[in-house]
Amino acid sequence: MAKRNIGIMLLACAMVVLGPGGKALDWDLAQGAESPGAKASSRPMVWAVKTEARGLDPHQFDYDYDQKPQRASLEPLMEYKVMPDRSVKIVGVLAESWKGSADAKVWTFQLRKGVKFHDNTPWNAQAAKWNFERLFALNKVPATRIPQNAWPEKGGIEAVDDLTLRITLKNPFAPFIETLVKKYMISPAAAKANEKNNDWGQAWCSENMVGTGPYLMEKWVKGQYVSFKQYPAYWGGWAGKHAQRIILRYVPEAATHRLLLTKGDVDLSEKIELDDLDQIAKVPGVVVEQHRVPRLIHLYMIQQGPFRDVRVREAMAHAFDYGAFINGVWKGRASKPLSPLPSAIWAFTPQPEIKQDLNMAKKLLAEAGYAQGGFTVTIYILSSYGWFQPREAQILQANLKPLGIESKIQDIPDAGAFVSAIKKPDVGPAFYAWTFANAYDDPEDNLRRTYRSDGSLNFFGYKNPQLDELIDKGAIIIDQKERMGIYKEIQKRVWEDYPGLFTAEEQWFITRRDTLHGYDFYPFVINMSPNWYLMWVSDKTP
């Protein structure tokens, strides 16, 4: 449980906080530390988010918008914690300690004693074993964050005794512990009681949560809100200050977010549009935090029709006006990517800069047999998720026109429909907006899921067998220097294949009221909420 490397430490510190009138705030106040005179309120803590969870089952759904409600009721074996010196380390939650074998193949966990699920059944090694067996049996996206060739074989997940769990992987997997910060545990008894046709209780668990966490879900009104209340028998206890109730309110319109935060009707907003940040920072009682994060913005190309030709894809990369996007849309509060990995990841290796060059784009299209363009593409966006996506798509649309390429922009209303649309086999040559945020400081999190041929996020049909081999090799090697060499080669190959447009490396903005306390930013888990248990609200500005 040692502190993480310097990359995470720098991320945790690289932030600016503005309070009323744009004045910089003291770090401790910005992070919601105890404030003299601040008293906990009985009112609910309200968080406005733009995208609704697809489901509550952590073994089926673990995108950022899914995990926000999950995190209130469910807990993992371990999680990241930001320390007082702003370093980050992995600390135990449902596991008290753990150790791995020298070859990173056998992992042993000592589990927390005296914990019970919300249905009063015990948390123990048998429950942990069942959760991992279910995770791999379902074989959904959460399982694929661990490479399949490293999954435990039959009998590889053992309840050694009541509080000792041992997992033996097929092959070594260097970042195994890091992947577990997002693997939530659910009650085996509750899921089994609601099974239908041996489905592991999937349908029921999509709508219900029985975990070990601090809060119980009260009600989920689809399209409106999900509410939570304290679980009285929570193993962590309720000493100190904590929110009594929490409401996650679904608000797709950016203007409504701004109004609700300004009026104080919500405590935390995700998130105010960039154009409004400077203005809203001047509102008394509002705090704006700016964080550097491992988050890349893309426009991926679905490799059908002309996009099967790397020369066409390269032409698209030279067509895009990066300056208009970064300086115009983002107002300089983003940077230009130089790798398929965010610059904060330890294996990051900068590649040659890709610049807008329409003459180069025309030359490449001519070489590929598209001198006059002559084809049409669709640009799929999910504006409820990314406020910037409509303008990103409009820039691309304008850039393609001089090349003789017509385009139409299709804004999909929700995340599930968006993924369904881009996964259609006959979708044709298309771009789709995507943002990837590393959940932990390892290139495996990004590269396998996105660029391996069978990657769970590889919706654009990218296939490179040599790259697949390198990704697999990088995952099983323990020596970080040797891994570095592999990831340098992977970044070079992906960059030269032009699978998409790497349009910006994002800054992350948190907008909240100064009456929200206990908030702490987790740089490598930004697709999860902060720790719900630590947050509380006061009625007045401290």
Would the pLDDT of 234 be above 70? yes
| pLDDT higher than 70, residue 72 | yes
Return the H-helix or E-strand segment holding 407: strand 406-411
Give the residue with greater pLDDT, 84 vs 255.
255
Give the mean pLDDT of 271-283. Answer: 86
pLDDT confidence tier of residue 26, bands split at 50, 70 and 90: very low
pLDDT mean over 496-516:
93
Question: What are the structural domains of the chain?
Answer: 6-285+514-537 (3.40.190.10), 294-505 (3.10.105.10)
Q: pLDDT, tens digit, for every residue of 468-482?
A: 999 999 988 888 899
Encode pLDDT of 326-381 as tens digits. Answer: 999 999 989 999 999 999 888 999 999 999 999 999 999 999 999 999 999 999 99
Spatial separation of the C-alpha atoms in residues 15 and 27, rounded to whole Å: 9
Tracing tokens 């100064």 back to the chain, one arrives at 514
pLDDT at 529: 62
Tell me the per-residue pLDDT of 281-310, one tens digit each, with 9 for 90 and over.
999 999 998 877 888 999 999 999 999 999
Task: Give backbone dihedrals phi and psi of 483, rounded to 5 degrees, phi first.
Answer: -65, -40
Q: How confident is the model over 373-397, as pLDDT tens digits? A: 999 999 999 998 888 999 999 999 9
Inform me whether the pLDDT recorded for 32 exceeds 70. no
Residue 177's Cβ-count burial label (10 Å; 0-12, 13-18, 19+) is buried
Phi and psi for 344 in degrees, rounded to 5?
-85, -15
pLDDT tens by residue, 394-442:
999 999 999 999 999 999 988 889 999 999 988 999 999 999 988 778 8
- Confidence (pTM): 0.74
Q: Mean pLDDT over residues 171-185, rounded?
A: 90
pLDDT bucket at 19, cuts 50 / 70 / 90: very low
Q: How far apart are CA 174 and CA 105, in angstroms?
A: 8
Task: Give the per-residue pLDDT at 359.
Answer: 97
Residue 13 reports pLDDT greater than 50: no
The confidence score (pLDDT) of residue 23 equals: 36
Q: Which amino acid is at 490?
A: I
CA distances from 238 to 43, 51, 92, 245 (A): 16, 30, 19, 13
Please tell me the predicted confidence (pLDDT) of residue 456: 86
Q: In the prediction, which pLDDT does 181 show?
A: 87
> Percent of the chain at pLDDT above 90?
68
Mean pLDDT of the chain: 89
| Concatenated DSSP letters of 450-487 | HHSTT-TT-TT----HHHHHHHHHHHH---HHHHHHHH
pLDDT confidence of residue 147: 82
